[in-house]
Amino acid sequence: FRPNFSHTLILTDSVEARNRVSAKLQTAMDTEFPGVRGRALKTPLGPPVAYPIIFRVSGPDIAKLKSIGDEVAVVLRKNTKTVEVNTDWGDRTPALQVEVDQDRARALGVTSLAVARSLGGAVSGATIGQFRERDRLIDVVLRGPAAERIAVSQVEDLQIPTAGGRTVPLSQVATVKQVMDEPIIRRYSRVPTLSVRSDIVEGVQAPDVSAAIDPQLNSIRAKLPPGYRIEAGGAYEENLKAQSSIGAGVPLMIFVWLMLLMLQLQSFSLASMVLLTAPFGIVGVAIGLLTFRMPFGFVAMLGVIALMGIIMRNTIILIDQIKQDMATGTHAWIAAREAAVRRFRPIVLTAAAAVLAMIPLTRSVLWGPMAVAIMAGLIVATALTILAVPAIYATWYRVKRPNAA
């Protein structure tokens, strides 16, 4: 429970309505609530992150962390694509610090545990029972009045039990003073960590902004004392994790591809040639995503991997037709040329079926980039496969025209 934090979920009936509502809410919070940090956020489609741009500053000393964090925040504010740069620790707040004099405490029979329990019960409260309200159990907490919990003189008069069954005032065994302390100290991998965070303007990708800012922090990193470090987090870190998870399976994927191609073609040379045609759709993917203004994210990458399989399948169909024609005595040049003509209809029809099947997904916020990547990439790759594979085959095996043989 945080009395200074509120979270409201708003559901709209369309993406356009969501964009209109979020823009109006952000404008209202910026103009009508100047003392409030308000954010109108759209539900993320990927792994949830607190802020799209996060840089973690880790180290042992709290004051040094805040000093380094201020330098990192200055760099983030200079970037025109960041909005509302802040840290996750906040400002220092008044607090009561209790220092127990161990010698006097032992002489009076008072332990540090007894001091901690008495202070906890008076300040934070102690649960003495539960109250049932229908299907809910509500804790009954006993603690001192608010005036007694914050006044130094009242806390000093708090009675602490001794080992002999008596009580003594807290002032006899400890010193109570008011200090300014950090309200929240967050840790990452058990190390105190301050996060410098920001939102981004519309129309840009968080990983791209973080990638542009990260090299600018090298001058700060060069001056860091031992034990301190600055790491990029947020969407940039999650994107790297997603790409690493895909990259970890790439060697196995290529091995399976080669094994299946060898079983189908029974030739390492032909299998290598088929693998070379896999990137045919990259040009189409780039054109499609740029045209529809969609990001090349995780789902689009999955679409490219699926597209590569479809392209290699079409290449195998052409090569298999070439091998069949050559087995009947047809010259290799003519077989390569006629294979494109004979397999034109089935290749185009299957590609058209795949493209049409992706149309409903283009309106999806999550799967739209994948659908566009497959559609645009497959259209370009199909044309390149039909036109280029016979030429690649003839060049690969140095096939000459029949009249020039």
Least confident residue range of 90-99, 283-292, 302-311: 90-99
Residue 1 has a pLDDT of: 58
Sign of CA dihedral 29, 30, 34, 38: positive
Least confident residue range of 164-168, 193-197, 229-233, 350-354: 164-168
Please enumerate, as own/partner, the contacts of 43-50 that have beta carbons within 8 Å and a separation of 24 or more.
Answer: 45/365, 45/366, 46/235, 46/238, 46/242, 46/297, 46/298, 47/238, 47/241, 47/242, 49/233, 49/234, 49/235, 49/238, 50/88, 50/195, 50/197, 50/234
Alpha-carbon gap, residue 174 to 98, rounded angstroms:
6
Q: State the average pLDDT over residues 247-252.
A: 86
Q: What is the DSSP letter of 230?
A: E
Range list of H helices, 10-163: 15-32, 62-78, 102-108, 112-119, 146-150, 152-156
Query: What end-to-end distance do the CA atoms of the chain give, in Å?
Result: 85
Residue 405 has a pLDDT of: 45
**Predicted confidence (pLDDT) per residue in 336-383, tens digit:** 999 999 999 999 999 999 999 999 998 888 899 999 999 999 999 999
Alpha-carbon gap, residue 287 to 102, rounded angstroms:
73
Name the pTM for this structure.
0.74
Q: State the average pLDDT over residues 384-404.
A: 87
On the question of pLDDT at 58 being above 90, the answer is yes
Q: What is the DSSP letter of 170?
A: G
Q: Which amino acid is at 154?
A: Q
Residue-averaged pLDDT of the chain = 89
Alpha-carbon gap, residue 377 to 374, rounded angstroms:
5
The kind and range of the H/E element at 292 are none
Closest CA to 319 of 335, 306, 331, 334: 335
Residue 118 has a pLDDT of: 86
Q: Which two tokens stand for residue 396?
A: 């690969």
On the question of pLDDT at 92 being above 70, the answer is yes
Interhelix angle 282-291/298-327, rounded to 10 degrees, is 140
Residues 6 or more apart whose CB falls under 8 angstroms from that of 195 comprise 50, 51, 54, 55, 56, 57, 87, 88, 186, 233
The kind and range of the H/E element at 342 are helix 332-342
Extended strands (E) in 213-363: 229-233
Q: Which two tokens stand for residue 242?
A: 């997603």
Alpha-carbon gap, residue 201 to 205, rounded angstroms:
9
Q: What percent of the chain has pLDDT over 90?
A: 43
